[in-house]
Chains A and B, each alone.
Chain A
Amino acid sequence: MLDSLQQIIDCAEKTNRLFWEVVLEEDMNQRQVSREQSMAKMLTVWKAMEDASHNYTGARRSVSGLVGGDGLKMRQYNLKGKNLAGGYVGEVIAEALSMAESNACMCRIVAAPTAGACGVLPAVLLPLCHREELSQQQILEALYVASGIGAVVAHRASIAGASGGCQAEIGTASAMAAGALVALRRGSAAQIGHAVAITLKNLMGLVCDPVEGLVEVPCVKRNVIGAMNAVSAADMALAGIESRIPVDEVIDAMGDVGRRMPVEFRETALGGLAVTPTGQEVKRRMAQE
């Protein structure tokens, strides 16, 4: 079931259930657990995301020293009230930076779907929780939607930068976040599908080119584009805008692009930003230390 989004959408429509319920039942079936056990585990995931956000101070730096403190900078800038993006999106940017920095600085995070892309999903959910009275139930439902989307992409394409480039990591995280947002706004299963399709189309081809092979540059800031992309795609889908290419076809295309992507652009630090003069300089400096 978790190998086609269209199948989940059809199943939800035919059986008059919501997208998240289809995913929940699939989990209960696959892991042989009760509804309560599954939801308790999902709550653990959510609590870990909240804790990771609360524990961010902006004081820690990564191994290379290239990452740390930008989430705090963004929060302080937002407080001045003159940011271009506005309230919610400003907070999304700050949260995405903070969470991704926490990962780079060896703090505790939730891989979603990977550690490098861990900032995207919480970045769109946490600020919404602060601004609106969302129930715990609503959040858990959104997380089931996100996990179902990620599972389908993992099955049909890839969620690893080493096999599919950054589109597979940040792209998938972005699709998961977009679906979660649509679900929170009570969009239909079909609208979730359109949001996922739009999200993946907009990040297709993104390469994985980390400086010195570390989950730092450009990974931290790419979490921001993943989150922003999710917000715009969710709003488009909720406005009734549809993807002209069906969602499963988009996922398959993303998988195809990943497979044909040169190895230099798949986490090997042999291309893109990793081989810029500055990227190489970082490498030399770290080798000396």
Chain B
Amino acid sequence: MDIFDILGPIMVGPSSSHTAGAARIGGMARALLGGAPVKAAIHLHGSFAETGSGHGTDRALVGGLLGMKPDDLRIPRAFEEAQKAGLAFTIDTVDLREAHPNTALLEVWDAAGKRLELQAASLGGGRILVQRLDGIDVSFTGDYHTLLIRNQDEFGAVAAVTGQLSRMRINVANMSLCRRSRGSEALMVIETDHKLRPLQVDALRRLGPVLSVTYYEKEEEADA
């Protein structure tokens, strides 16, 4: 937490956890999908389910899916904007056991039919924590530039990726690796201090054990 978590975020009201954090969760789902979703199923848990409507959590999530930042004045009209943008969505409540009280589970699809499922919690002050991605437990915040790398679970996969990052002079801040079972697919989450250029992301994609790479670039500073 830094002093601009205290004086900030600059945001559309009324609640940093229920509104600003919700917009960021929607934005994260859009970024990880890699483009505009055309369909979304939004499931609200806990306090998001109970007071989400009064706090504009539903509109902020949809706004985030449309690419709106937490300070976007269109958030109150996000449902109308979704219609214009061709995003069909449903919102319901869900009971996720042992989840943070402010949690949303999002299923999103792009025009090509690609699907992404993301579960994230809003921790307060607009900060979020992504906890599940397509059924795999993860833990990242979007406070860093973040690489999500799917790889074959085999010898040298991590070395190949980190070696490439090292050659490109990209410093790893945090890193985790998770797999469903031995020899199947695994997911690396790598948070970096440095921004990656598209060519650098492509270089990671070309590595042998790598199946796919998704890159999330940290939200830029809001302009007043």
Contacts and interface: CB of A to CB of B under 8 A. Distances in A.
A110 B54 contact: no
A168 B98 CA distance: 26
A131 B75 CA distance: 35
Given A44-B224, A51-B224, A150-B6, A114 B125 contact: yes
B15 interface: yes
Interface string A57-73: 00000111000000000
A231 interface: no
A148 B6 CA distance: 8
Contact of B75 (A106, A115, A118): A106
B15 to A, nearest CB: 5
For chain A, which range describes its interface: under 10, 10 to 19, 20 to 34, or 35 or more residues? Answer: 35 or more
User: Looking at B17, B51, B101, which has the most chain A CB atoms within 10 Å of its CB?
Assistant: B51
Nearest to B193: A32
B12 A48 contact: no
Given A64-B54, A162-B124, A214-B54, A114 B16 contact: yes
A111 B20 contact: yes
Contacts of B15: 115-116, 215
Tell me what chain A mostly uses at the interface: helix, strand, loop, or mixed: helix
Interface in A138-189: 143-144, 146-148, 150-151, 154-155, 159-160, 162, 176
Interface string B1-26: 11111111111111111011000000
Contacts of B10: 44-45, 48, 108-111
A168 to B, nearest CB: 11
Nearest to A210: B51
B110 interface: no
Contacts of B76: 106
Interface in B174-188: none
30 contacts: A44-B222, A44-B223, A45-B10, A47-B224, A48-B10, A48-B224, A102-B13, A103-B13, A105-B13, A106-B12, A106-B14, A108-B12, A108-B71, A109-B13, A111-B126, A115-B15, A115-B20, A116-B15, A144-B3, A150-B3, A151-B2, A154-B6, A159-B6, A159-B125, A160-B125, A162-B17, A162-B101, A212-B54, A214-B55, A286-B54
Contacts of B9: 110-111
Contact of B6 (A44, A102, A104, A112): A112
Contacts of B14: 62, 103-106, 115-116, 214-216
Contact of A111 (B16, B50, B223, B224): B16
A151 B8 CA distance: 12
Contacts of A110: 7-11
For chain B, which range describes its interface: under 10, 10 to 19, 20 to 34, or 35 or more residues? Answer: 35 or more
Interface string B117-131: 000000011100000
A80 interface: no
User: Looking at B19, B50, B124, which has the most chain A CB atoms within 10 Å of its CB?
Assistant: B124
Contacts of A26: 3
Contacts of A31: 2
Given A63-B56, A286-B54, A147 B16 contact: no
A30 interface: yes
B7 A45 contact: yes
A213 interface: yes
Contacts of A159: 6, 125
B92 interface: no
A42 interface: yes
A150 B8 CA distance: 11
Nearest to A143: B7
Interface in B9-56: 9-17, 19-20, 47, 50-51, 53-56
A258 to B, nearest CB: 14
Interface string A82-100: 0000000000000000000
Contacts of A104: 13-14
A48 B4 CA distance: 13
A212 B51 CA distance: 8
Interface in A17-56: 23, 26-27, 30-31, 41-42, 44-45, 47-48, 51
Contacts of A205: none
